[in-house]
Amino acid sequence: MPPAAKLRLEHLSMTFKTPTGSFQALAPVTLSIPTGRFVSVIGPSGCGKSTIFNIVAGLLQPSDGRVFIDGIDATGTIGRVGYMLQKDLLLPWRTVLDNVILGMEIQRLPLRQARERALPLLRRYGLAGFEHLYPSALSGGMRQRAALLRTLLFDTDVILLDEPFGALDAQTKLTMQEWLLQLWGDFGKTVVFVTHDVEEAIYLSDEMHVMATRPGRIVETIPIAIQRPRHRSVTLTREFIDIKERCMQLLTAAHNAALDEAA
């Protein structure tokens, strides 16, 4: 028997009750992610990406379907995955160090031990000199580093990143992508990454799931077999451009379908 997927979504669907009736945000979505993969989910705004994440994180009960982690039903269970939103949600009254240890604190690790564990990581991952500053003193990229480290230190095997670099300028975003790949290589986590940015998704991922709206669903899964470690120049290769073109076709079709429906 093949090993169980690290994360498996089985026929997940979501219908929201609204004042005007019910709204199907998610048609049944099924996908399996093996241990240690970097997988992206890409699709137009409103196709249900954050809804999927909220369900996987146990914050939202699906209308139907199940979430399995290591083959065990984790539907509606909080705390099984690390989850980071685009808005970093760092606590303004805590220093960077004390923000980063939040997960360990929740898991009741003594404060001193938690700080001792976090300090070398802050230094190793580009936050040396920022440990004792408050988030308001940090740039957007630095805040995202802190938020991501905090998510990693929740000690879960799976992390969900919802457009973590969406608000950053282009150059910072590229730096953060390299930084994230380094962390992923070091920590060996299974990552599910939501983005609007096609190049970002291809550059980072082993596989991408392209979604469409109304109802939100996966229309195609594209494997990305580009060898690692990757260098920026892969974005100029035939292989990369072919994947990008296919992805753009799907996203344009999804976008046009949404416009037709709205008309």
Residues ≥6 apart with Cβ < 8 Å to 234: 203, 226, 240
Query: What are the φ/ψ torsions at residue 193 (nearest 5 degrees)?
Result: -125, 120
Quick one: which of 7, 25, 100, 102 contacts ligand ADP (CB under 6 A)? 25
Residues ≥6 apart with Cβ < 8 Å to 36: 6, 188, 189, 190
- Considering only 48-56, 81-89, 98-106, 135-143, which stretch makes contact with ligand ADP by CB under 6 A? 48-56
Should residue 29 be labelled a site residue for ligand ADP when binding is judged by CB under 6 A?
no
Helices 111-124 & 140-152 angle (0-180, nearest 10): 130
Should residue 51 be labelled a site residue for ligand ADP when binding is judged by CB under 6 A?
yes
Q: How far is the CB of 49 from Mg ion (least distance, A)?
A: 5
Q: CA 150, CA 98: separation in Å to the nearest integer? A: 9
**What pairs with residue 29 in β-bridges?**
12
209 sits in the region (left: phi over 0; alpha: psi -120 to 50; else beta) called: beta
Should residue 20 be labelled a site residue for ligand ADP when binding is judged by CB under 6 A?
no
**What pairs with residue 191 in β-bridges?**
38, 159
Q: Among residues 98 and 163, whose Cβ is nearest to ligand ADP?
A: 163
- Can you tell me whether residue 244 is helix, strand or coil? helix
Quick one: which of 22, 30, 45, 139 contacts ligand ADP (CB under 6 A)? 45
Contact track, Mg ion, 123-162, x by CB under 5 A: ----------------------------------------
Contact track, ligand ADP, 192-221, x by CB under 6 A: ------------------------x-----
- Considering only 18-26, 90-98, 115-123, 171-179, which stretch makes contact with ligand ADP by CB under 6 A? 18-26
CA nearest 187: which of 121, 93, 253, 103?
121
Quick one: which of 26, 31, 44, 50 contacts Mg ion (CB under 5 A)? 50
Q: How far is the CB of 133 from ligand ADP (least distance, A)?
A: 31
Q: Among residues 141 and 216, whose Cβ is nearest to ligand ADP?
A: 216
Q: Among residues 87 and 231, whose Cβ is nearest to Mg ion?
A: 87
* Buried/exposed 225-248: b ≥16 CB within 10 Å, e otherwise: ebeeebeeebeeeeebeebbeebe
Q: Which residues bind ligand ADP (CB under 6 A)?
A: 16, 18, 23, 25, 43, 45-51, 216
